[in-house]
Amino acid sequence: MSHLPCDIAELRTLFLFEKLDEQQLDWLCEHGHIEHFEPGPVYHEGDPATCFYVLIEGGLALSRKVGAEDVEITRTTSRGVYAGAWRAFLGDRVPQNYDGSMRVTEPSRFYVLDAALFEQLMRDWFPMALHMLEGLFFGMQNTQQAVGQRERLLALGSLSAGLTHELNNPAAAAVRATSALRERVAGMRHKLGMIAAGPYDRTALEKLIKLQEQAVEHVAKAKPLSPLEAADREDELADWFDEHDIAGGWDLAPTYVQAGLDVEWLDSVAGSVDASILEGALRWLNYTIDTELLMSEIEDSTTRVSTLVTAAKQYSQLDRAPFRPVDVHELLDSTLLMLSRKIGDGVTVVKEYDHSLPQVPVYAAELNQVWTNLIDNAIAAMDGVGTLTVRTARDEDRLLVEIGDTGPGVPAEIRSRIFEPFFTTKPVGSGTGLGLDISWRIVVNKHHGDLSVESVPGDTRFQVRIPLTTQEATP
C-alpha cells in the first residue's frame, strides 16, 4: 500500500465526481489521497469504519460473515464503485463499523477519504440529499421493525387461535364426561340401595366386589379397537345377553367392549353368581365400568390440557432465561404441537431425531420463531397435503436442524432472493415477506449459524446449522 499523487482530471472521470466543480475536486484532492493496494484484505467486517474507498482501477471483492465463514457477495472491476465508511453521514446514530469485508483481487488504485471528512462533505455539499438519505435509511429501519412486529403478531394470533381450539376440545370433553359421571354415580347409589334391599347374602356381595375389581383392572388394560372390531365384539356380547335373558343387552354391550371384556369373561361372571341375581350383577358392573371409563376420559382430557399448557410455556420460554442450553428436540416438539391445528390431517409429520445430540446454548424463544416460520412455509408450500420431515443431526461441530416438505419446490430463479426482506411468493395479504429474513437474522446474527435451502420439486429442505458451543450473541 502506498500513497500516490491525486489527479483532478482522473477524479472527474469517476461517476461519483463527474458533476463536481473545480473547487470541489480541489477539496477532494487536498483532503483525500490515492492509494495503491496489492491483492489482499483492505478492511474486515466489524472493524471501526475509518475510510471511504472509491475504485479507480483494478478489482475488489466484498464479503459478509455467515457464521464463521466469509461469503462473497460482490466481485467487480467497475471504475467508481465505492465501499467502506459510506454510512459516516449518519454520525453516531448508527454504529460506525464496516458492515462487510473488502479485499483487492488484483493490483488496484483507490481514492481514499477519511470517514469524518466524508461526513463533512455530505453535510456541506449535499444537504438536501443528506436529509433524504437519512429519512430513507431510518424509514426503512422503522418499516422493517413495524412489519417485523406485525409478522410476529400475526404468527402469535394464528398460534393463539390454534391453541384455543386445541384446548377447547379436551376441556369440553372433560366437562361432558364430568356431567355423565355425576349421573353414573347417582345411578350407582340407587343400585347400591337396591342391592342392600335385595336377595344378596354376604358371600354373593363378596363375589360382586371381586368381579368389580377385576372389571376395573380390565378397563385400565383395555386397548383401543377399530370400529369394525368393536362392532363385531358388540354383536357377540349382545347375543350373549339375549341368550341369558338380560333385557337391553344392546345398551350394555358397548360399555363392556370398550372395557376390553369378552364373552369368556361374561361366562366367568355367570359361573360366579346365582342365575337369580345375574342381571342385577351385570348392571351393577356396567355402572362400575362406565364410571371407570368416564374417569379415564377426564384424566386423558385434563392431561391433554396440561400438555398443551406446558407446550405453550416451552414455546414462549416466558419463565426461562433468554440465552441458555436447551434440548433442541423439546423446542421442535413444542412448536409442532402449537402448530398441530394448522398442520392438519392432510400432512404427515415425520420426526428423524438424533437424541445423542448435546444441549445447545441458544436464544430458545427466538429459535422457536424460526421453526414456526419454516414449518408454516412448508405447510403453505404443500397446500396442506404432503409429508413434513423434521430432522436433527450433527454436522461436524454444528447442530443441523432440517425442515423438509414435499411441495413443488423453490424455483431456481428466485432461490437467491427468498431471504431478502419483503420478498414473498404468497398472495397479497397472505404474507409480509419478512419470515425468512427474520429467521436468517436470528440464526446468522444472533447464533453465528447458517440458514440455507436445497430444493427440487417434491423435496425442499431448509437447513439451520448452529454451533454446538457458542458465545452469547449481541441481541
SS (H, E, C) the chain: CEEECCCHHHHHCCCCCCCCCHHHHHHHHHHCEEEEECCEEEECCCCECCEEEEEEEEEEEEEEEECCEEEEEEEECCCCCEEECCCHHHHHHCCCECCCEEEEEEEEEEEEEEHHHHHHHHHHHCHHHHHHHHHHHHHHHHHHHHHHHHHHHHHHHHHHHHHHHHHHHHHHHHHHHHHHHHHHHHHHHHHHHHHHHCCCCHHHHHHHHHHHHHHHHHHHHCCCCCHHHHHHHHHHHHHHHHHCCCCCHHHHHHHHHHCCCCHHHHHHHHHHCCHHHHHHHHHHHHHHHHHHHHHHHHHHHHHHHHHHHHHHHHHHCCCCCCEEEECHHHHHHHHHHHCHHHHCCCEEEEEECCCCCCCEEEEHHHHHHHHHHHHHHHHHHHCCCEEEEEEEEEECCEEEEEEEECCCCCCCCCHHHCCCCCCCCCCCCCCCCCHHHHHHHHHHHHCCCEEEEEEECCEEEEEEEEECCCCCCCC
How much of the chain, in percent, has pLDDT values that exceed 70? 75
What whole-number distance in Å separates Cα of residue 39 and Cα of residue 156? 50
Which range, of 83-97, 157-171, 272-286, averages the lowest pLDDT?
A: 157-171
Residue 155 pLDDT exceeds 70? no
What whole-number distance in Å separates Cα of residue 364 and Cα of residue 321? 9
pLDDT in tens, 54-110: 999 999 998 877 555 677 778 889 999 989 887 777 777 777 888 889 999 999 999
pTM for the whole thing?
Answer: 0.46
Residue 366 pLDDT exceeds 90? no
Stretch 275-299: mean pLDDT: 80
Read off the pLDDT band of 206 (50, 70, 90): confident
User: What's the mean per-residue pLDDT of the chain?
Assistant: 79
Which range, of 118-132, 135-149, 280-294, 437-451, averages the lowest pLDDT?
A: 135-149
Of residues 99 and 231, the one with the higher pLDDT is 231
Stretch 133-145: mean pLDDT: 53
Residue 319 pLDDT exceeds 60? no
Stretch 204-211: mean pLDDT: 75
pLDDT in tens, 75-86: 889 999 989 887
Read off the pLDDT band of 1 (50, 70, 90): low
- Model pLDDT, residue 432: 44
Stretch 386-393: mean pLDDT: 95
Segments making up each domain of the chain, as ranges: 2-125, 163-307, 322-467
- Model pLDDT, residue 329: 93
Stretch 345-369: mean pLDDT: 90
Of residues 236 and 153, the one with the higher pLDDT is 236
Read off the pLDDT band of 427 (50, 70, 90): very low
Stretch 286-314: mean pLDDT: 72
Stretch 124-149: mean pLDDT: 56
Of residues 175 and 364, the one with the higher pLDDT is 364
Residue 167 pLDDT exceeds 60? yes
Which range, of 116-125, 186-195, 271-280, 335-344, averages the lowest pLDDT?
A: 186-195
CATH for 322-467?
3.30.565.10
When the candidates are 3.40.190.10, 2.60.40.10, 2.60.120.10, 2.40.50.140, the CATH number that belongs to 2-125 is 2.60.120.10
